A and B are shown apart, each in its own frame.
Chain A
Amino acid sequence: MRKIKDILMNLMTYLFSSFGVLILGTILVFVFSNGFSSLSWNLLTSDYYETVYTLKYETDNTLGVYDNPNLNDSYFSSRWGVAFQDTTNNEGDSVIIISYLDPLSPLKRMTNGATDGIASVETNQVVTKVILNDEDSNLIIGLAKNGAEEMAQDFDKGIVITNLVVTTSGGGIRGSLLTTLYMIVLTLLIALPFGIGGAIYLSEYAPDTRSTRILRNMIDMTSGIPSIIFGLVGAIVFIPFMNNVIGSTGGSIASGALTLAIMLLPIIIKTTEESIKTIPSSYRSASLALGASKTQTTFKVILPNALSGILTSVLLSIGRIIGESAALIYAVGTAIKDNVAIDENSTTLAVHIWSVMSGENPNYELSYSISIVILFMVLILSILVKLITKRFNRYEVK
């Protein structure tokens, strides 16, 4: 009878745990298989917004015959020394990009239509439209929808470019990536001193009275409040506060960091307090018996030994900061920015996903790619924290 019960129990344990692993694995495989195709270095480093340049080239002195680099899938215009390639941009639309530019190409010495200055096209820029004149002053109009091959042929026909529209490839997440890093650093800078200080007070100094018990319970309850409520508090309290303090207008990274810091305080206090509790009281009495003051004991013995707990709380906090969207939508805003500044609004990666998914055509592939970036960020930061913990715990004997 007992044997059957044991087998049943074991079976259930295996079943449920394998089910959990399976679901986790499926999610990972799903995200990776969908997001990997559009994940590229270009995505990480390029701006979200396209910049349009209108350029022209009027003299025909240096037009000549340039050597074809014979790139795969590229079509070369030997008269202008430029190759075009059909590809898709970060948002999944098909575009023509400049895949090669001869060092002597006249396209490097063009005139910017807007500023009349010298301007150059760059490789990887997107060509949307070109208007050329041939020897007999006939107009040739090349459009992106006709493909790279025809674009190259159009270029070869003309001797004067009256209008060339190129754009930098957009849809990148460089700004959001930077914002996320800013947000992590700033939030931890605010939250850690208060959190650790609070934990030290609660575990070392606070008397066990009614008021401290209420305080403890309130900290526990705060960790259960939905983050969107913190977002509302951030919008109502911290945005005006930051507007007054650092002169920002509307939501900013600073107001978001302040909101997140308040949200993370209970986690940091709880984890740190728990790890302080596990420190043997014999360390405390040994230190005091050596004539050390209570403050010295706290900072020389208690805190260094609580470090692994503190770093765990840092890790949990980083996870929350990277993953938080609801609070930041209110406390910062949802406008994606390329130029990131602490006193301006911009989006973290999670809010970036929210932004690209909440438009008229949700962009699933980009979202999955950003998800992969987020996963890797968490992974790298966890490894970093583990390494730091190991470095500081070198005197522990396992």
Chain B
Amino acid sequence: METIFKIEKLNLSYGDNHVLKNVSLAIYKNQVTAFIGPSGCGKTTLLRCLNRMNDLNVTVKQDGSLKYLDQEVSSINAMDLRTKVGMVFQTPNPFPMSIFDNVAYGPRCQGVKNKYTLNKIVVESLKKAAIYDEVKERLRDSALSLSGGQQQRLCIARCIAMEPDVILMDEPTSALDPIATLKIEELIGQLKKEYSIVIVTHNMQQATRISDYTAFFMLGEIVEYDKTVELFKNPKNRKTEDYITGRFG
């Protein structure tokens, strides 16, 4: 299986706070990889390393190796990297613009001006994010008039419009109701044919439902990383077993 991210002995700290400790991990192409673990274990931090969103924090210190397709991430221009590695956030955050402008934002920033090209990108992205049928009549309406679940799928469409290789999802369903969550999960199942997906989740059922690989984090270290089926059926580490059975305390 092709590796898309290769992480070796990654250490990261915010000021004096050592958040990631000697993390080594390989993320595979066209697979869904889930990061699980208790709050504050560093899973979101690791996710934000993958598209250099941590750079925005000035106090961050990082060492070790983090390679995207055999290229050191820190040597890639952050803006170019982010067009290839998209991100969907915890709370839906569409811009206060029309639905069309939201999806067209990324391509426009890259200098796409042609109306027909933009139109094509927007329609295709919305279709791939399984929201086109719901919004095709009102592409000029405000994106903020959509429901929470629709907003999140719009954010996924906005991400897809950049034609990325990888989509990072930071607890994408934690602010949504079960029905909207189900829709997003179905969507993830469809998207993995074309994209590699890394998802952070607090919901272990969700991890078992949608992911192919799962990494269990605790206190900034990877406790166990395996195929999801293996990890949940035969956890090799005692801590993992405690956590997934809910006995973790």
Contact = CB atoms under 8 A, between A and B. Distances in A.
Contacts of B83: 290-291
Contact of B106 (A291, A293, A395): A291
A296 B51 CA distance: 18
Contact of B144 (A288, A300, A301, A396): A396
Contacts of B53: 285, 288-289
A394 B82 contact: no
Q: Which of B83, B95, B145 neighbours the largest number of chain A CB atoms within 10 Å of its CB?
A: B95
B109 A296 contact: yes
Given A280-B93, A283-B95, A291 B110 contact: yes
Contact of B51 (A282, A289, A394): A289
A53 B51 CA distance: 81
B82 A288 contact: yes
Contact of A395 (B79, B80, B144): B144
Interface stretch (B19-27, B84-92, B205-213, B220-228): B84-92
A293 B79 contact: yes
Contact of B105 (A280, A287, A293): A287
B97 A395 contact: yes
Interface stretch (B35-43, B129-137, B154-162): B154-162
Contacts of A393: 96
B121 interface: no
A285 B89 contact: yes
A305 interface: yes
Interface residues of A, number: 21
B122 interface: no
Contacts, number: 72
A290 B144 contact: no
Interface string A276-298: 00001011011111111100100
Contact of B162 (A282, A290, A396): A290
Given A289-B87, A291-B83, A292-B79, A282 B93 contact: yes
B188 interface: no
A290 B164 CA distance: 10
B1 interface: no
A23 interface: no
B155 A300 contact: no
Given A290-B82, A293-B79, A395-B142, A285 B105 contact: no
B162 A291 contact: yes
Nearest to B91: A282
Interface string A286-321: 111111110010001100010000000000000000
Contacts of A305: 96
A301 B97 CA distance: 9
Contacts of B96: 305, 393, 395-396
Contacts of B109: 287, 290-293, 296, 300
A286 B168 CA distance: 12
B125 to A, nearest CB: 12
Contacts of A282: 89, 91, 93
A302 B82 CA distance: 19
B143 interface: yes
B62 interface: no
A94 B89 CA distance: 76
Interface string A36-55: 00000000000000000000
B89 A290 contact: no
List the 7 closest pairs (A to B, CB-CB), nearest first: A291-B83, A282-B93, A395-B142, A290-B106, A289-B87, A292-B109, A397-B144
Interface of A: 280, 282-283, 285-293, 296, 300-301, 305, 393-397
23 contacts: A280-B93, A282-B91, A285-B89, A285-B93, A286-B155, A286-B158, A287-B95, A289-B53, A289-B82, A289-B86, A289-B89, A290-B83, A291-B79, A291-B106, A291-B109, A291-B110, A291-B162, A292-B105, A296-B109, A305-B96, A395-B98, A396-B142, A397-B144
Interface of B: 51, 53, 56, 79-80, 82-83, 86-87, 89, 91, 93-98, 105-106, 108-110, 142-145, 155, 158-159, 162
